[in-house]
Chains A and B, each alone.
Chain A
Amino acid sequence: MKETFNFKNAGNAETLEINFGPQHPSTHGVFRMVVQLNGEKICGLKPVFGYLHRNHEQIAENLPYAAMMPYTDRLDYVNALANNFGYALAIEKLAGLEVPERAEYIRVMMAELARVVNHITVIGFMLNDLGAFFTPLLYAFRERERILDLFEEITGSRLMCNYLRPGGVKRDLTDAHLAAIRAIVTKFPAFLKEFEALLTKNEILCMRCQNIGILPVDAATNAGITGPVLRASGVNYDIRKVDAYSIYNRFDFKIPLGQKGDAYDRYYVRVLEIRESLKILEQALAKIPQGDIVNKKAFPLLKMPRNFKPPVGEAYARIESPKGELGYYLVSDGTPQPWRYHVRAPSLINLTLLEEMCLGQKIADAIIILGSIDIVLGETDR
């Protein structure tokens, strides 16, 4: 079947249409861009989605609420815990469940660790797109492995944690776990310093990233772009502050803002966000109370709630995932399976302005812009 893309100047003999993806080293999986080139300059770009459309929403409508938790891991597989968090919040909102204090602290800690993992991974991949031969990525993965070890110890799996439960978490943190988190928090700044020495002031990186893919504030808000990409444009909008969901209002942390909204700002805002996450972790470690880790009233016997039926209703819960606003929309009809389940995926919506950001730039820039937006195809296509 012939595909058609509404390029503005289609049929021009001067231009060349090129497919980037679905198999391409730097489209972060199976994303596809059809790019219209004039020389090396981009004069049209159409994203094509769906190469990883795994019917997340259809599957959810066939499964019990709690059995969907492991599937949310597979949405954004770099930071599974944040996805768990959003989904758990949505169920709790739907069913009016309370979460014990200790569980809230554990959730916040895990979500922030996931944010750290996500941000260093993204920076590593972005540098790979820039053409650094894996070194920054491997340094990032080295630190990531240390955190993943911790995840494995606490949740049982490196990537697909399946850790949160409606009304709590799956497994309690022991003192050894807390000590391990503390060790990571204390060691991480040294790594970040090394990482920054390698990257931040590097002339080639600055040349490649500064003033590339500028995202104006108005366009960004209008297009619903969220997360570090929005904040790099200078909009102070962080759902951890705005909604103060869970217990985020108890922590003292700042929101780093960029000024220009180019790829470099997106990179650096992420670095600064890692620092803020570490601050949150420090505070959480100091304050974590003793207590239950699951809502005993609602689930006296089992943590994995079987035959869990929320009342008829709908709920929309959103969290600040490392990619942006991750929203879960649930409609319950009183049966164990949701009637409608929808994920508002930041990775998808942040791509709305991809074409505008890339027009007039070179091919190499388009790849950095894509890298700096930070998409994960599992979430984009669901």
Chain B
Amino acid sequence: MTFSIEEVKKELAVRMPDIKLRTIRDSLLIENPENLPRVAVFLKENPAFLLDYLSSVTGADYLNYLESIYHFYSMAKKHGPLVLRVRVPKHSATVPTLVPIYRSAELQEREAYDTFGIVYEGHPDLRRLFMWEGFEGYPLRKDYAQEDSETLETADVSWLEARGVTVPAEMKQKAQELRDSGERALAQKPLKPRN
């Protein structure tokens, strides 16, 4: 890295004094996510940095908030990385997209949307990347509850019976019990835990 994080901070403070930044280790946290595209354009076009290559976009769940983390490099000047991060609350996780500036964000933002539910505003094609449309929940969030793969639920039972498959009585009964208690069949904790 031929520049330090402080240089970037200083330069940004001069050019865009309204943007609040905070240094977290080797990275810069942009306090207001709305400012992210401006910072990105600045970094991309400023001849001192020329960060023309957005290597990685990823999300992370810190229980109270979600984070979107960006790793920038420069192909022209062969330096980097500069790490930017923005934090958004879980209930309204919207971050402006970087796709108009960096095409490389396209699939990665879709991935972060898929796994963490971070909505990238302005993304041209924000669909789930890996999971299917209609999948509920964001599986990499720490509070994601996985389904139990061995217990049939009423939806399964009715689906199977509509197709002429006989479902054993005890499975039917268990599904009905679950339904009556208003619970979903979720992955269970170990019965005899080892660790």
Q: Which residues of A contact B83 (CB under 8 A)?
A: 316
Shortest CB-to-CB span from B99 to chain A, Å, is 10
Chain A interface mostly: mixed
Question: Of A65-73, A115-123, A220-228, A357-365, which binds chain B?
Answer: A220-228
Report whether A327 and B130 are in contact in the complex, using a CB–CB cutoff of 8 Å. no
Report whether B55 and A235 are in contact in the complex, using a CB–CB cutoff of 8 Å. no
Q: Which residues of B contact A331 (CB under 8 A)?
A: 60
A329 to B67, CA, bound (A): 13
Shortest CB-to-CB span from B149 to chain A, Å, is 13
A223 to B75, CA, bound (A): 12
Report whether A53 and B81 are in contact in the complex, using a CB–CB cutoff of 8 Å. no
A327 to B83, CA, bound (A): 14
Highest count of chain A CB atoms <10 Å: which of B54, B103, B134, B139: B103
> Which of B58, B69, B71, B75 has a CB less than 8 Å from the CB of A221?
B75
Report whether A237 and B130 are in contact in the complex, using a CB–CB cutoff of 8 Å. no
Within 8 A of B (CB), among A317-366: 318, 325, 327, 329, 331, 339-340, 342, 344, 348-349, 351-353
Per-residue contact bits, chain B 4-26, to A (CB 8 Å; 1 contact, 0 not): 00000000000000000000010
A258 to B111, CA, bound (A): 31
Task: Indicate whether A235 sits within 8 Å of B69 (C-beta atoms), given known contacts A53-B131, A222-B52.
Answer: no
Q: Which residue of B lies closest to A223 (CB)?
A: B103
Shortest CB-to-CB span from B157 to chain A, Å, is 20
Q: A58: CB under 8 A from chain B? A: yes
| Total inter-chain residue pairs, C-beta < 8 Å | 86
A166 to B106, CA, bound (A): 33
A6 to B102, CA, bound (A): 21
Number of B residues, CB within 8 Å of A: 34
Report whether A342 and B56 are in contact in the complex, using a CB–CB cutoff of 8 Å. yes
Report whether B103 and A313 are in contact in the complex, using a CB–CB cutoff of 8 Å. no
Q: Which residues of B contact A55 (CB under 8 A)?
A: 139
Q: A381: CB under 8 A from chain B? A: yes
Report whether B134 and A1 are in contact in the complex, using a CB–CB cutoff of 8 Å. yes
Report whether B55 and A318 are in contact in the complex, using a CB–CB cutoff of 8 Å. yes
Q: Which residue of B lies closest to A57 (CB)?
A: B140
Task: Indicate whether A349 sits within 8 Å of B107 (C-beta atoms), given known contacts A237-B75, A344-B56.
Answer: yes
Q: Which residues of B contact A235 (CB under 8 A)?
A: 75
Task: Indicate whether A224 sits within 8 Å of B103 (C-beta atoms), given known contacts A55-B139, A58-B139, A235-B75.
Answer: yes
Report whether A224 and B139 are in contact in the complex, using a CB–CB cutoff of 8 Å. no
> Which of B53, B71, B106 has a CB less than 8 Å from the CB of A352?
B106
Q: Which residues of B contact A349 (CB under 8 A)?
A: 104, 107-108
Q: B133: CB under 8 A from chain A? A: yes
Q: Which residue of B lies closest to A318 (CB)?
A: B55
Report whether B107 and A342 are in contact in the complex, using a CB–CB cutoff of 8 Å. no
Q: Which residues of A contact B52 (CB under 8 A)?
A: 221-222
Q: B78: CB under 8 A from chain A? A: yes
Q: A314: CB under 8 A from chain B? A: yes
A58 to B115, CA, bound (A): 10
Q: Which residues of B contact A1 (CB under 8 A)?
A: 132-134
Per-residue contact bits, chain A 195-234, to B (CB 8 Å; 1 contact, 0 not): 0000000000000000000000001011111000000000
Q: Which residue of A lies closest to B106 (CB)?
A: A352
Q: B143: CB under 8 A from chain A? A: no
Q: Which residues of B contact A61 (CB under 8 A)?
A: 140
Q: A1-B132, A50-B132, A57-B115 are in contact. List 8 more A-B contacts (CB 8 A).
A: A219-B103, A221-B52, A222-B102, A224-B103, A316-B81, A331-B60, A352-B107, A381-B130
A residues with CB within 8 A of B: 1, 3, 6, 49-50, 53, 55, 57-58, 61, 219, 221-225, 235, 237, 242, 313-314, 316, 318, 325, 327, 329, 331, 339-340, 342, 344, 348-349, 351-353, 381
B residues with CB within 8 A of A: 25, 27, 52-56, 58, 60-61, 69, 71, 75, 78, 81, 83, 102-104, 106-108, 111, 115, 125, 128-134, 139-140
